[in-house]
Amino acid sequence: MLNALTLAYDIRLVYGSAPVPAISGPAVSNQATIDVTIDFGDSGRAILPSEIGNPAKVEIVGGTAGAKLSQNSPADTVWLVTITRSGGNSDVNVTVHSGWYQDEAGNWNLDASKVFIYDDFAPDIGITNLNISKTVVGQGYTMNIKVTIFNYGNDTEYSNVTIYAGMTVIHTSENVPLTSSNSTTITFTWNTTGFARGNYTLWAYASPVSGEIDMSDNNFTSGVLKVTISGDINGDFIVDIYDAILLAGHFNQTPISPSWNANVDINGDNIVDIYDAIVLANHYNQHYP
Ligand SMILES: [Ca+2]
Ligand SMILES: [Ca+2]
Ligand SMILES: [Ca+2]
């Protein structure tokens, strides 16, 4: 008797209310797409792809529902769907309309709606380029690294920009002022003294500014830089005739020369001359390992 009463109470508790859909997603700034989770609040019925974006069912205004990213197995009652903004700049309103989705007890779902607001000038910065002056540098010599940051937002922002060689921090510029809708470039001369020979991935990171949401463009990776034996111009970690041929072929050249190659300018003084040849000669036949 007691068990039967408990069972009846449990049934009423579980099936007594209609499904309440929930719509959630990230705070939106100026992303072109947003990932929105639509939870139908009941596992009793699978949701069909045709019902997502249907004006009478799951209506999406101001954007286009893309492919479903995940589901709540086995029934598709929780959808994660990417919505692409119409024209890239409209607010997106997601509405689950009432009266089309029913739970096992025959109750219709309730209405739910959420607006994702587009802000064209939300705080957002991004690194747009990382330029290295050479791709092969003799151990102990210097090279220049330029990092370009763009401020997409409405206000002047300040960011700390950190440059890495592999996982090692080689430079930090703090509170770099970034004016609205403008690029800012910081230049850093890296002295490779003390860095082991080998390949380094150079990359930079700009710390997020207050209110920034889109962090995907706050780091930028360049190609690989070789720190090698001084005199190794072609980056094969041996100083030999092939490097000497390169040096001879670019002799007397400067950055305005049509075939200028910064890697040949071993000492980095913007001319390929006898001083580079002396460095090469001093390390001739050296190799690593
Ligand atoms: Ca950003
Ligand atoms: Ca070489
Ligand atoms: Ca030189």
Q: Mean pLDDT in each 10-residue stretch from start to end of the chain (289 residues)?
A: 43 58 81 84 74 90 83 70 76 88 78 83 91 96 96 92 96 96 95 95 96 91 93 97 98 97 97 98 95
Question: Ligand 2 mean position to 253 CA, how many Å?
Answer: 20
Prediction pTM value: 0.64
Q: Token match 């019902």: residue?
A: 51
Q: Which two tokens stand for residue 84?
A: 């692409």
Q: Which ligand is nearest to the CA of 30?
A: 1
Question: Ligand 1 mean position to 126 CA, how many Å?
Answer: 4
The answer to whether the beta carbons of residues 150 and 198 sit under 8 Å apart is no
Which residues have C-beta under 5 Å from ligand 1, the single-atom ion? 124, 126, 214, 217-218
Whether residue 21 has a cis bond before it, omega within 30° of 0: no
Q: Which ligand is nearest to the CA of 280?
A: 2
Give the closest residue to 59 by CA, choosing from 8, 5, 100. Answer: 100
Q: Which ligand is nearest to the CA of 134?
A: 3
Q: Which ligand is nearest to the CA of 213?
A: 1
What CATH number was assigned to the domain covering residues 2-116? 2.60.40
Question: Ligand 3 mean position to 252 CA, how many Å?
Answer: 9
pLDDT in tens, 186-243: 999 999 999 999 999 999 999 999 989 889 999 999 879 999 999 999 999 999 999 9
- C-alpha 134/C-alpha 271 separation (Å) is 14
Tell me how crowded residue 276 is: count the other CB atoms within 10 A of its CB. Answer: 23
H or E element that contains 82: strand 78-85
Question: Ligand 2 mean position to 257 CA, how many Å?
Answer: 23
Quick one: pLDDT at residue 263? 98
**Own/partner pairs, 22-27, CB within 8 angstroms, 24+ separation:** 22/112, 23/94, 23/96, 23/112, 23/113, 23/114, 24/114, 25/94, 25/114, 25/116, 26/213, 27/213
Query: Would you kindly state where each structural domain of the chain is located, as residue ranges?
Result: 2-116, 122-228, 234-289
What CATH number was assigned to the domain covering residues 234-289? 1.10.1330.10
Cα 193-197-201 angle, rounded to 5 deg: 95
**What is the rounded average pLDDT for all residues in the chain?**
87
Question: Ligand 1 mean position to 208 CA, how many Å?
Answer: 7
Q: What is the DSSP letter of 49?
A: G
- CATH (one of 1.10.357.10, 3.40.50.2300, 3.40.640.10, 2.60.40.10) for 122-228: 2.60.40.10
Count Cβ atoms within 10 A of the Cβ of residue 106 and give its class: 0-12 exposed, 13-18 middle, 19 or more buried.
exposed
Q: Token match 């860095």: residue?
A: 195
- C-alpha 6/C-alpha 210 separation (Å) is 53
Question: Ligand 2 mean position to 171 CA, how many Å?
Answer: 28
Question: What is the SS3 assignment for 89-156?
Answer: CCCEEEEECCCCCECCCCCECCCEEEEECCCCCCCCEEEEEEEECCCEEECCCEEEEEEEEEECCCCC
Fold agreement between 2-116 and 234-289: no
Quick one: pLDDT at residue 34? 86
- C-alpha 57/C-alpha 53 separation (Å) is 7
- C-alpha 216/C-alpha 189 separation (Å) is 26
In angstroms, the Cα distances linking 55 to 36, 51, 85, 93, 248 are: 17, 9, 16, 12, 72
Question: Ligand 1 mean position to 218 CA, how many Å?
Answer: 5
